[in-house]
Structure 1
Amino acid sequence: MSTADTSTPGAGTSTVATETRRTPGLVPVTETLRTTERHPPSEPPARGLAMPPTRATWAFWRLLGSELGLTFRRPRNLVMLAVIATVPVIVGVALRIVSSEEGMGGIIQDVAGNSLMLTFASFSFLVLLLMPVAVSVVAGDSVAGEAGAGTLRYLLAAPAGRTRLLLVKYLNAAIFAYAVTVVVALSALVTGLILFPAGPVTLLSGTTISIADGLLRILITVGYVGAGMAALAAIALALSTFTEVSIGAIAGTMVLVIICQVLRAIPELGSITPYLLPTWFTNFDAVLRSPIDTGALGEGLLAFGAYIALFGSIAWARFSGKDITS
């Protein structure tokens, strides 16, 4: 309904048209031509604009820091790190007791002869089973755990994006994998220095090196083994995107590791051994030769990189097109 409101003709004022609009359930609003010109309609915000690079980078690191804080404050993960740190101590004490007997040789003699060798011996015991379990628990729970708890949709509601969130989840699992590796190395090193004599290290090739050189080779071993565990984390992360039950992704990863171990033990299947990830876990013994067998380390790192690229792509393809319902 519209009305015309004109002023008194003698006053010489202009005529202003007014319009009263009624909307069901709302108070009538009278809008004049002057108010319309005074308050022009605002343009709708443009869609598809990305965050500024600085802000996006800050949001990424803040999300990663929050994820790391949750991971390293979780009691379950701390217990796993404590258990893993205890194993080198048990191995060292057992080797110390056994080394007192006559006629002992091999790895027992090597560890008893120098404290640094306990680190390599501990990696030999742990890299094929217990360390993969710890890494699989964190990586397998990364996406499936959020979906099972019903928090994955809320994470995606933030302007982080699926690719960025998946990258944060993987970096978190990879950092935890290196934390597991460092815990093993430090526990074994401290235990070895307490229980066994320190001095020049005799390598597998029979060459003797200094303590400083031995520590450098331990550092190289930590980098190599950590890369192997990061490759395993990529497998667990990929499986985690296919389920909402984290135990399924964890168990699936460990079943794959065990199957690979069984296949490696069958001589007739030697042709497929180079394609199995656990085959390369123990290549860190290349640092115990003089000179260091960089070829063996390079092949292992290449295999780790291939696994990370392959299963990272699978995880991204699955997660980027997944219908998030929880």
Structure 2
Amino acid sequence: MPAETAAGTPIATARPRAGWALLASELSVLFRRLRTWAMLIALAAVPILIAVAVKLSSRPATPGRGPLFLDRITQNGLFVAVTALVVCVPLFLPLTIGVVAGDTIAGEANLGTLRYLLLAPAGRIRLLLVKYAGTIAFCCAATATVAASGALAGVVLFPVGPVTLLSGDTVSVGESALRTMLIAAYITVSLMGLGAIGLLISTFTDAPVGAMAATIVLSVTSQVLDNLPQLDWLHPWLFSHHWLGFADLLRQPIAWTSFGENALLQSAYIAVCGAAAYAKFLNKDVLS
């Protein structure tokens, strides 16, 4: 006979249910926080500010100056979303991901709720998976917010029509919207490695602010190192190396090489940091 809980439910059945309940609770808490909505609103404001600035400017944007595709916004409002994503990738998106990922375990320890979470039949490994799933959910929400806000601002303020790709081909509005979603998906995958790094750092401390700051600093450091030609040998191993490599998604036909390389690199970071986080968390003395 299988072992049963006090309520009479087999433990093998109770644990998966506890895991799903914990995930639902994590997502509910995450997206009910004022801090989460403040970050999403700030991200949504970036493409709006870009669109308004271009609209009110008396001088056309000079090709080659400013963010990529900035000079194309006045010709087609659909480029607002892509330009905003380019602007947000180096700092704004990593900053928000660092805040969420750094708070995963350290935040619970700081509030004194980590011990109670571990009393559930979900166990430590499921708790780590749930916390990381919440980080991924925020990654999706953050990039989708920037893309959706940019698309809306572009449609309202600028003419919209068929888009000329980097390869010189022209695609319909529907296909260009699909490619914008692919770029958002590419960036979401890019940020998953950073989320795993933040989760790992969060297991080492009970101070969430320190974990957040360390994650953000590592993000900036990786990008700085990626721009030093003297460290060419290191660039392919940096988690930020492919963050802006989505240009192939704006060509006809789409080349999936950069997407695959980026996904492989982020998967390696997820695997290594996830294993290290589990090893640390498994032996962590939870006192609060």
Q: TM-score range by the shorter chain?
A: over 0.9
Distance 2:10 2:144 in 1: 36
User: Whole-Å Cα distance in 2 between the matches of residues 141 and 72 of structure 1?
Assistant: 14
Match of 1:104 in 2: 62
Question: Which residue of structure 2 lines up, in the alignment, with residue 67 of structure 1?
Answer: 26
What amino acid is aligned across from residue 86 of structure 1 in structure 2? Answer: A
- Identity, in percent, stands at 42
**1:179 maps to what in 2?**
141
Matched, 1:213 2:175: yes
Q: TM-score, normalised by structure 2?
A: 0.92
TM-superposed deviation, 1:161: 0.5
Unaligned runs of 5+ residues in structure 1 are 1-44
Structure 1: how far apart are the matches of 2:60 and 2:21? Answer: 57
From 274, 282, 307, the equivalent of 2:244 is 282
The aligned amino acid for 2:123 is G
Alpha-carbon separation, structure 2, partners of 1:220 and 1:194: 22
CA distance in structure 1 between the partners assigned to 2:61 and 2:14 by the alignment = 65
Task: Name 2:161's counterpart in structure 1.
Answer: 199
Q: What's the secondary structure of 2:86's corresponding residue?
A: helix
Following superposition, the deviation at residue 136 of structure 1 comes to: 1.0
* Pairing partner for 2:36 from 60, 77, 83: 77
Matching of residues 84-95 of structure 1 within 5 Å:
84-95=43-54
Q: Which amino acid aligns with 2:28?
A: G
Q: Does the aligned pair in 1 maintain the 2:81–2:151 contact within 8 Å?
A: yes
Which deviations, in whole Å up to 9, do the C-alpha atoms of 1:223-281 show, x marking residues without a partner? 11111122211100000000000111111111111111221221111221111111111
Aligned to 1:24: none
User: How far off its partner does 1:61 sit?
Assistant: 1.3
Within-5 A mapping of 1:101-140? 101=59, 104-106=62-64, 107-140=69-102
* Residue range with higher mean Cα deviation, 181-190 or 102-111: 102-111
Q: Is the 8 A contact 1:237 1:315 kept in 2?
A: yes
Give yes or no for contact 1:178–1:229 (8 Å, CA) kept in 2. no
Determine which structure has the larger strand proportion and give its number.
1
Deviation at 1:52, TM superposition (A): 4.6
Tell me the equivalent position of 2:277.
Answer: 315
Amino acid in structure 2 at the alignment position of 1:244: D
Q: Note closer, same or farther for the CA distance 1:46–1:75 as it changes in structure 2 (3 Å cut).
A: closer
Give, as a single letter, the amino acid of the residue that structure 1 aligns with 2:70.
Answer: I
In structure 1, what is the equivalent of residue 200 of structure 2?
238
1:135-164 per-residue CA deviation (whole Å, 9 max, x = no partner) reads 111111010011111111111112110011
Q: Which residue identity is paired with 1:138?
A: V
Bigger RCO (CA 8 Å, 6+ sep) = 2
Q: How many residues of Structure 1 are paired with residues of Structure 2 in the alignment?
A: 280
1:132/1:103 CA distance change after superposition, 3 Å:
closer
Alpha-carbon distance in structure 2 between the residues aligned to 1:162 and 1:215: 41
TM-score normalised by length of structure 1:
0.82
Q: Is the 8 A contact 1:178 1:230 kept in 2?
A: no
Aligned residue for 1:299? 261
SS in structure 1 at match of 2:242 = helix
